[in-house]
């Protein structure tokens, strides 16, 4: 692991928590003038803060995607991939982010998984979270930053470097705070027809023992309004998982539709935020994993066998 990545990751989790704290203070300041002086003292100035140092020292990319904006053509020192996977509920961002994470050797960090881990614990947050998540609403930024900072810090202590974030950032505020602490190289936004998304969410199953995800839906959507027909074979579990399958409590039709509404309202602007930075790569999924995976690798200029070979070298 390059030394820079180690130093960078040592601080990323802390930095995220700190920047969120300062950003929150600024919000309090706006509604509470006596807080202003304190905030001015505490808020790191963009030109001298650690976050600026991090950005300037490590604003690099492992330039695998050459055609996404001009950022990718500058020669920069190497560091690990810092990517974001984006897309509607059910689109498969977890599946593709996890495959890429294995291929590239960077951690796949899904805020939805962090939320579900917290939900399944008997911690003080879990009742409050269940209510929000099961209505298809977004959890507060404070809770998300807290969970994410803890996850990053745990990874840092194990020497993890780089990331593929999945489900974060999901609001403009989250994107702006992430931008304060580090540079995202690439945002992949996966696209799929909305009727197929709902069907996919309803077919989703998880093995309660091994944690693997499957999908029992067999999708055959007809051509409609200029959209081509689409078929996706189910992703069935092996026999030993069959009796242990569970469905996420928020994968009901009503909650999925609410999550799609929230996505369009809150997350669509995040796509525009990254588009303006020249970092967004939109990818229309042509079908299930067998059709989509090779095409996604091609769009990312990645070659499955080559990446594996260079990881071994
Ligand atoms: P989805 O299939 O809707 O993309 P996720 O597994 O990413 O589901 O997230 C599940 C739930 O966790 C979301 O509906 C939301 O309540 C919460 N959540 C996950 N990530 C975030 C985030 N970045 N900000 C706010 N809430 C989040």
Tell me which residue of 247, 219, 242 sits closest to 91, measured CA to CA.
219
| Residue 115 in contact with ligand 1 by CB distance below 6 A | yes
d(CA 18, CA 23): 9
Give the number of the atom of ligand 1 that is nearest the alpha carbon of residue 256. 3
pLDDT tens digits, 218-233: 999 998 887 788 999 9
**Average pLDDT over the chain, rounded to an integer:** 80
Tokens matching residue 208: 């309660």
How many A from CA of 309 to the centre of ligand 1? 34
Ramachandran area for residue 238 (φ above 0: left; ψ -120 to 50: alpha; else beta): beta
User: Tell me, what's the pLDDT at 111?
Assistant: 96
User: Tell me, what's the pLDDT at 49?
Assistant: 26
Determine contact, residues 174/84, Cβ cutoff 8 Å.
Answer: no
pLDDT tens digits, 165-197: 999 999 999 999 999 888 999 999 999 998 899
Give the H/E segment covering residue 287: none
User: Tell me, what's the pLDDT at 228?
Assistant: 81
For a mutational test of ligand 1's pocket, the pick from 139, 184, 197, i.e. the residue with the most ligand atoms closer than 8 A to its C-beta, is: 139
Determine contact, residues 219/230, Cβ cutoff 8 Å.
Answer: yes
Catalytic residues: 93, 170, 204, 248, 259
How many A from CA of 182 to the centre of ligand 1? 22
Tokens matching residue 304: 């499955």
- For atom 12 of ligand 1, the residue with the nearest CA is 112
How many A from CA of 38 to the centre of ligand 1? 33
| Residue 144 in contact with ligand 1 by CB distance below 6 A | yes
| Residue 133 in contact with ligand 1 by CB distance below 6 A | yes
d(CA 129, CA 231): 35
| Residue 237 in contact with ligand 1 by CB distance below 6 A | no
How many A from CA of 75 to the centre of ligand 1? 36
Partnered with residue 164 across adjacent β-strands are: 83, 108
How many A from CA of 111 to the centre of ligand 1? 6
Tell me which residue of 182, 184, 177, 141 sits closest to 22, measured CA to CA.
177
User: Tell me, what's the pLDDT at 124?
Assistant: 80
Determine contact, residues 92/285, Cβ cutoff 8 Å.
Answer: yes
Determine contact, residues 260/273, Cβ cutoff 8 Å.
Answer: no
| Residue 263 in contact with ligand 1 by CB distance below 6 A | no
How many A from CA of 135 to the centre of ligand 1? 11
Q: Cis peptide before 131, with omega less than 30 degrees from 0?
A: no
| Residue 87 in contact with ligand 1 by CB distance below 6 A | no
All residue ranges of the chain with pLDDT < 70 are 1-13, 17, 19-77, 304-313
For a mutational test of ligand 1's pocket, the pick from 20, 96, 115, i.e. the residue with the most ligand atoms closer than 8 A to its C-beta, is: 115
User: Tell me, what's the pLDDT at 39?
Assistant: 30
pLDDT tens digits, 85-118: 999 999 999 999 999 999 999 999 999 999 999 9
């Amino acid at each position: 692991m390059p030394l820079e990545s180690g130093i960078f990751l040592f601080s990323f989790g802390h930095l995220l928590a700190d920047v969120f704290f300062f950003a929150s203070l600024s919000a309090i300041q706006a509604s509470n003038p006596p807080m202003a002086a304190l905030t001015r003292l505490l808020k790191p100035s963009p030109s001298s803060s650690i976050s600026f140092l991090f950005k300037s020292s490590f604003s690099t990319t492992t330039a695998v995607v050459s055609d996404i904006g001009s950022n990718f053509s500058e020669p920069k020192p190497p560091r690990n991939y810092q990517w974001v996977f984006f897309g509607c509920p059910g689109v498969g961002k977890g599946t593709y982010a996890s495959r890429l994470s294995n291929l590239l050797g960077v951690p796949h960090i899904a805020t939805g998984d962090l939320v579900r881990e917290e939900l399944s614990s008997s911690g003080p947050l879990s009742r409050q979270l269940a209510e929000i998540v099961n209505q298809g609403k977004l959890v507060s930024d404070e809770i998300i930053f807290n969970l994410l900072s803890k996850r990053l810090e745990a990874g840092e202590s194990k020497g993890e470097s780089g990331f593929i974030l999945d489900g974060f950032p999901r609001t403009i505020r989250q994107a702006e705070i992430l931008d304060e602490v580090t540079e995202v190289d690439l945002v992949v936004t996966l696209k799929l027809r909305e009727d197929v998304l709902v069907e996919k969410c309803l077919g989703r199953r998880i093995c309660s023992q091994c944690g693997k995800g499957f999908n029992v839906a067999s999708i055959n959507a007809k051509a409609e309004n200029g959209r081509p027909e689409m078929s996706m074979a189910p992703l069935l579990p092996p026999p030993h998982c069959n009796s242990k399958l569970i469905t996420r409590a928020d994968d009901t039709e009503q909650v999925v539709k609410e999550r799609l509404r929230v996505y369009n309202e809150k997350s669509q602007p995040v796509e525009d935020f990254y588009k303006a930075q020249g970092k967004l790569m939109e990818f229309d999924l042509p079908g299930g994993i067998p059709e989509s995976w090779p095409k996604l690798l091609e769009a990312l200029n990645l070659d499955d066998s080559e990446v594996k070979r260079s990881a071994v070298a």
